[in-house]
Structure 1
Amino acid sequence: MKLKRYAAPAVIALTAALALSACASNEGGAPAAEGADSGSALTGTLTGIGASSQGSAQEAWIAAFQTANDGVTINYDPQGSGAGREAFISGAAAFAGSDSALSDEELEGEFGSCAPDTKAIDVPVYISPIAVVFKVAGVDELNLDATTLANIFSGTITTWNDPAIAALNPEATLPTTAITAVHRSDDSGTTKNFTDYLGKVAPDAWAEEASDTFPFQSGEGAQGTSGVIQAVTGGDGTIGYADASKAGDLGVAKIKVGEEFVEYTAEGAAAVVEGSPLVEGREANDIAIKLDRETTDPTHYPLVLVSYAIACQEYADAAQGELVKAYLGYMASDEGQQEAATSAGAAPLSADLSTKVAAAIETIK
């Protein structure tokens, strides 16, 4: 299968420009028929660094995009969101993957790959629940509310038979085993989303600001999503948080939303994003989302992350800009979103958000 350079129909609708519609039609918004030659003229190498949550999706996106554009090589290193943003800011990466959008402070700085006097933008490309994974002998199901979860990860609750956990799980036989709460040791957008959730939903138990860096010395630190999963899998009495695509065979806790305990689902994560406003004060093509953590609707799953592709509005190297625009366009396309759903269990962008994202990507130079 061959892909031409992507230009979404949503962009056409948003701009309402017939000239753009004709141009996009010529460039090709959908993949060519199987076995057909797309005539892709894209060539070059593209380097991305960032969120490990995007790892599985990036593998699928890269494989499909390189198959469709055989003159292109894309490298993505899942070092973590913080490392990705640092690499992008320094110019070591042409784009970053990050589970948190650029901060106002970061946006005020300079970006190594961007044209002089231009800024970077955030575009959502990956939506996923964060799973609270655990491994406790004799416990197959676990209910947790935000306050209890906060007290576990801050080190206030230290054993699995603590009365607060027992009250939420009256039918479970909870052992006296000590709790090992595993957190990310690296700067992580997943940590920022996790701590944002705790701070918003359980402010009396979690007074710390949302941060890429885990704020307590308690528990055990592990590098990357894979490190957290390995640490939880290798222990007993362990609990951690990770992108749901990596939960595997571990136990996954239900979290309390309103008056019910709910399992994570892609649909529940997508519903939260759909109902959340954009961050105010950003450029029109910078689509950062202020997630509604405090929903009480049990069809929603508020422990969710939105992972962004961070790119230049305009690249100093026009050829890199062309590659970034094409690749991000594929990631956000219907086909790209289906790849992420299939390979990583991600929730596809809603029609409205897809329109906004496609329009933002179209502005990249």
Structure 2
Amino acid sequence: MHLVRKDRQHLFKESLARLRKGLGRRVVLTVGSVILATLTIAFISGCGGNSELPTASSTASTATSVPATSPTSAPATRAAATGASVTATPALAGSLNGAGATFPEPLYVEWIGEFQSIHPGVTINYQGIGSGGGIAQFSKLTVDFGASDAPMKDEEIAKAEQASGAKVLHIPTVMGAVVLVYNLPNVEELKLDPDTIAGIFLGEITKWNDARLAALNPGVALPDKTIQVVHRSDSSGTTNIFTGYLTQVSKEWADKVGKGKEVDWPVGLGGQGNDGVAAVVQQQASSIGYVELSYALESGLKMATLKNKAGNFVTPGLQSTSAAAEGVTFPADLRFSLSNSAGPQAYPIVGATWILAYDKMKDPAKAEILKAWLNWALTEGSPLAEELKYAPLSEELRKLALEKVAAISAF
């Protein structure tokens, strides 16, 4: 029987709980049956170091299966529930394997499940191992598509294209906010600006009642406690987005640390994946860390309000995330950055996430499935993004993304 939304949310929360216990999760979505298998995924370190472009998050995983159904159970599907039409199309059959960012993983789980309920002959496997790992596997041709919160660098693209004999496509899927979560009992609201964020993560602001924090938070009883910084320990697009922002707003950070999927952190504890960071912040009193918005909401952690480039304090959310893309001119290859936008209501730490694909694939069936899934995800699947607190692409950017999807074919 097809899982309704409530069941999927319950399953996702269970999988998050398993991740927080250190097990990791591999998403294997199949149609018509439940397959339970345990898989240990070795951590694949992505192309670390400083990057010229935004990057991606990573998480490893144990096998989780989400049963979906054939189109005969359409009344239980999201398409029927929302009134969207499901048009009869030639039967798709085959499988795809993908790997990469954990930033969009909750959404990709949903997109895959819904798509498979419409196309019962299709199986799509997605491993949330982080953007660095996703780029590495995509470049080595061990997966059919990659996923990254950081566009590939020029040298990475050159190697991938040489190995594949095809052109690399960057296909943006959604935008998301990277939020600062904290664990301070009795402190329900916390305001931070670029200088204090950089100061905390550089290890220069070490106490919560530091005068610079107190000045931003008048009337808030900040405790005389040591700040415990939490950051990613793996090659991560979320880290690339966060450190890219810090590089833009702090010359000291740019000179001492820089940006990348992996950096030499001046201070702090490491957690693997967005879930790992959220778990450490939950468990460690007086801590602060950065995660993608949907993980913060699932974890129930408190989020700081940040001062943006226009001088306004902005709460993370769909509207403030979407505002970061307003007025942006997108390059032809769709590799772009959204952090530190000038919009008055824009949340300052925002990134896009990309599916990485080749314009030519050896297997025509795989090319057809990948095109069909991405076309569906970027159109009929778009409402799912908002439900999971990702900002859907603007109409302009979605049109550009669909043009990239249309370029996928077989040799």
Give your verdict on TM over 0.5.
Answer: yes
Whose RCO is larger (CA < 8 A, sep 6+)?
A: 1
Which is worse superposed, 65-74 or 308-317? 308-317
Aligned-pair CA distance for 1:167: 1.2
TM-score, with length taken from structure 1: 0.84
Once residues 390 and 97 of structure 2 are traced to their aligned partners in structure 1, the CA distance between those partners, rounded to angstroms, is: 23
2:318 is the counterpart of 1:270:
no
Aligned-pair CA distance for 1:113: 8.1
Aligned-pair CA distance for 1:317: 2.2
Q: Note the 1:75-154 alignment, pairs <5 A.
A: 75-111=125-161, 114=164, 116=165, 118-154=166-202
Structure 1 vs Structure 2 CA RMSD:
2.0
Once residues 69 and 109 of structure 1 are traced to their aligned partners in structure 2, the CA distance between those partners, rounded to angstroms, is: 34
Q: Which residue of 2 aligns with 1:180?
A: 228
Aligned-pair CA distance for 1:217: 4.3
Partner residue of 1:228 out of 255, 277, 284: 277
Give CA deviations for 1:262-293 in whole Å, capped at 9, x if unaligned. Answer: 101212211212322324xxxx4x31123252
CA contact 1:131–1:241 (8 Å) conserved in 2: yes
Q: Which runs of 5+ in 1 are unaligned?
A: 2-30
SS of equivalent residue, structure 2 residue 381: helix
Partner residue of 1:287 out of 331, 334, 337: 334
Q: Which residue of 1 aligns with 2:382?
A: 337
CA contact 2:245–2:339 (8 Å) conserved in 1: no
Which is worse superposed, 151-160 or 105-114? 105-114
Q: Which runs of 5+ in 2 are unaligned?
A: 3-78
CA contact 1:262–1:298 (8 Å) conserved in 2: no
SS of equivalent residue, structure 1 residue 276: coil
Once residues 274 and 360 of structure 1 are traced to their aligned partners in structure 2, the CA distance between those partners, rounded to angstroms, is: 21
TM-score, with length taken from structure 2: 0.75
Aligned pairs, how many?
326
The one-letter amino acid of 2:180's match is V
Q: Do the aligned partners of residues 240 and 306 (structure 1) sit closer, same or farther apart at CA in structure 2, a change above 3 Å counting?
A: same
Q: Note the 1:46-61 alignment, pairs <5 A.
A: 46-61=96-111
CA contact 1:126–1:340 (8 Å) conserved in 2: yes
Q: Do the aligned partners of residues 132 and 317 (structure 1) sit closer, same or farther apart at CA in structure 2, a change above 3 Å counting?
A: same
Aligned-pair CA distance for 1:93: 1.3
Aligned-pair CA distance for 1:206: 4.2
Q: Note the 1:174-253 alignment, pairs <5 A.
A: 174-207=222-255, 208-248=257-297, 249-253=300-304
After TM superposition, the runs of 4+ consecutive aligned structure 1 residues lying more than 4 A away are 31-37
Give CA deviations for 1:153-183 in whole Å, capped at 9, x if unaligned. Answer: 1211111111111111111111111111111
CA contact 1:113–1:317 (8 Å) conserved in 2: no
CA contact 1:91–1:112 (8 Å) conserved in 2: no
Partner residue of 2:307 out of 253, 256, 265: 256
Q: Do the aligned partners of residues 71 and 267 (structure 1) sit closer, same or farther apart at CA in structure 2, a change above 3 Å counting?
A: same
Percent identity, aligned pairs only, is 34
2:393 is the counterpart of 1:349:
yes
CA contact 1:40–1:69 (8 Å) conserved in 2: no
Aligned-pair CA distance for 1:82: 0.7
Q: Note the 1:4-19 alignment, pairs <5 A.
A: none
Give CA deviations for 1:4-24 in whole Å, capped at 9, x if unaligned. Answer: xxxxxxxxxxxxxxxxxxxxx
